[in-house]
């Protein structure tokens, strides 16, 4: 699907404006319904003052994305898949948030329940690939080269790991005011550009619309945050990023482009493993790693700025590898 630069900008601005404009409407409603975030005792003590800040603000982002897609895009098969993965994970996040803020169970869905729902969405995508993509659908491109490796059934294992891993990693990154939106802006910019260069105009518009939602949400989520996106937004954002990686056939490249998500998740894994094997010792002051720097004396705004800059570097490296490989194909 061919698109113009005007359409891309239009999708971005539409999503941004709708998301930002919903703030004065939705935030008071969330306050009235007492949909406030409960802050866990295991987090930094400085975060306790955030208790009661409305959550589920991801609804604003989803509305912006939906309106932008209706106005500027066509619901092609690729966009339908991207929507299923994005809004499907949003539903999982909504259930998690609802249990936390309405039923007052601070941990939300159990780990097994959340994983089961995420696996179900991954299996739905795997079924689509099996039915419609043919043998080439399980080819895996090696970044920086012109080589694609036929993975067979192992590709489905990768899909499962990518979807579950990405959504949870993005969710872990959502721990400071404006952090996950800011880190995701260069990621979505990179994928919008890659989709444009690959001739996947519909995916380019989708990435631009998600980017616009992040920008619009930052109007209300920058420090000090007036609203949190909650799991409704962070899992949806993770689903959207994973969908873009899968549908542009840049699965491995996501490890580079989404480097900050990877570091956030790795910090938790390293901390847990080291803690268990050393009888209680820690590598980091607290994980995910943004809390490590926060407890080291960095202000939230500094952590967000440095992590966003690092995300930009990762994305530039990812785009470079994409050109290096695709230019020779």
Query: What are the pLDDT digits (tens) for 198-243?
Result: 999 999 999 999 999 999 999 999 999 999 999 999 999 999 999 9
Q: How far apart are CA 108 and CA 201, in angstroms?
A: 37
Least trusted range by pLDDT, from 61-70, 130-139, 216-225: 130-139
Q: Is it the case that residue 82 has pLDDT exceeding 80? A: yes
Q: Per the structure block, which two tokens stand in for 231?
A: 């799991």
Query: What are the pLDDT digits (tens) for 10-57?
Result: 999 999 999 999 999 999 998 888 776 665 555 566 666 667 788 899
Give me the pLDDT at residue 241, please.
Answer: 98
pLDDT band at 329 (very low <50, low <70, confident <90, very high): low
3-state secondary structure of 90: helix
What is residue 36's DSSP assignment?
Answer: B
> In the chain, pLDDT over 70 holds for what percent of residues?
92
Q: Per the structure block, which two tokens stand in for 315?
A: 């994305």
Give me the pLDDT at residue 87, please.
Answer: 97
Q: Is it the case that residue 135 has pLDDT exceeding 60? A: no
Query: What are the pLDDT digits (tens) for 254-310?
Result: 999 999 999 999 999 999 999 999 999 999 999 999 999 999 999 999 999 999 999
Give me the pLDDT at residue 74, please.
Answer: 84
Give me the pLDDT at residue 53, please.
Answer: 87
Helix locations, the chain, DSSP H: 5-21, 23-32, 58-72, 77-101, 111-128, 154-173, 179-197, 201-221, 230-247, 254-257, 259-277, 289-295, 300-326
Give me the pLDDT at residue 45, please.
Answer: 61
Instruction: Name every residue whose Cβ is closer than 8 Å to that of residue 72 and which is 6 or more positions away in sequence.
Output: 7, 10, 11, 14, 205, 209
Q: How far apart are CA 276 and CA 4, in angstroms?
A: 53
> In the chain, pLDDT over 90 holds for what percent of residues?
78
Q: Per the structure block, which two tokens stand in for 277?
A: 């094997």
Answer whether 3's CB lies under 8 Å from 49's CB.
no
Query: What are the pLDDT digits (tens) for 144-155?
Result: 998 999 998 899
Residue owning tokens 């991207």: 82
Phi, psi dihedral angles at 22 (to 5 degrees): -75, -15
Stated pTM of the model:
0.94
Q: Which residue has the higher pLDDT, 122 or 37?
A: 122
Q: How far apart are CA 138 and CA 156, in angstroms?
A: 8
Give me the pLDDT at residue 44, please.
Answer: 67
Give me the pLDDT at residue 136, please.
Answer: 64
């Amino acid at each position: 699907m061919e698109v113009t630069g005007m359409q891309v900008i239009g999708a971005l601005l539409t999503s941004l404006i709708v998301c930002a404009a919903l703030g004065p409407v939705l935030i008071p409603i969330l306050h009235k319904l007492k949909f406030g975030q409960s802050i866990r005792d295991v987090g930094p003590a400085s975060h306790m003052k955030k208790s009661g800040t409305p959550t589920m603000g991801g609804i604003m982002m989803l509305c912006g994305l939906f309106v932008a897609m209706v106005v500027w895009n066509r619901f092609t098969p690729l966009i339908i898949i991207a929507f299923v993965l994005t809004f499907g994970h949003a539903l999982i996040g909504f259930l998690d948030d609802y249990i936390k803020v309405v039923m007052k169970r601070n941990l939300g869905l159990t780990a097994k329940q959340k994983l089961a729902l995420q696996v179900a969405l991954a299996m739905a995508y795997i079924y689509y690939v099996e039915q419609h993509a043919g043998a080439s659908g399980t080819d895996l491109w090696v970044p920086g080269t012109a080589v694609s490796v036929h993975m067979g059934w192992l590709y489905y294992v990768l899909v499962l790991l990518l979807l579950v891993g990405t959504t949870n990693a993005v969710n872990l990154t959502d721990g400071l005011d404006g952090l996950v939106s800011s880190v995701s802006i260069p990621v979505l910019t990179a994928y919008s550009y890659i989709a444009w260069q690959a001739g996947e105009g519909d995916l380019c518009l989708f990435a631009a619309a998600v980017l616009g939602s992040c920008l619009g949400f930052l109007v209300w989520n920058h420090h000090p945050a007036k609203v949190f996106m909650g799991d409704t937004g962070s899992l949806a954002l993770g689903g959207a990023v994973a969908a873009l990686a899968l549908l542009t056939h840049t699965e491995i490249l996501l490890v580079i482009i989404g480097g900050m998500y990877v570091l956030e998740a790795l910090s938790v894994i390293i901390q847990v493993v080291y803690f268990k094997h050393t009888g209680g010792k820690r590598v980091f002051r607290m994980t995910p790693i943004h809390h490590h720097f926060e407890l080291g004396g960095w202000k939230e705004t500094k952590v967000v700025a440095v992590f966003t800059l690092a995300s930009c570097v990762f994305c530039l490296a990812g785009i470079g590898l994409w050109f290096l490989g695709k230019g020779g194909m």
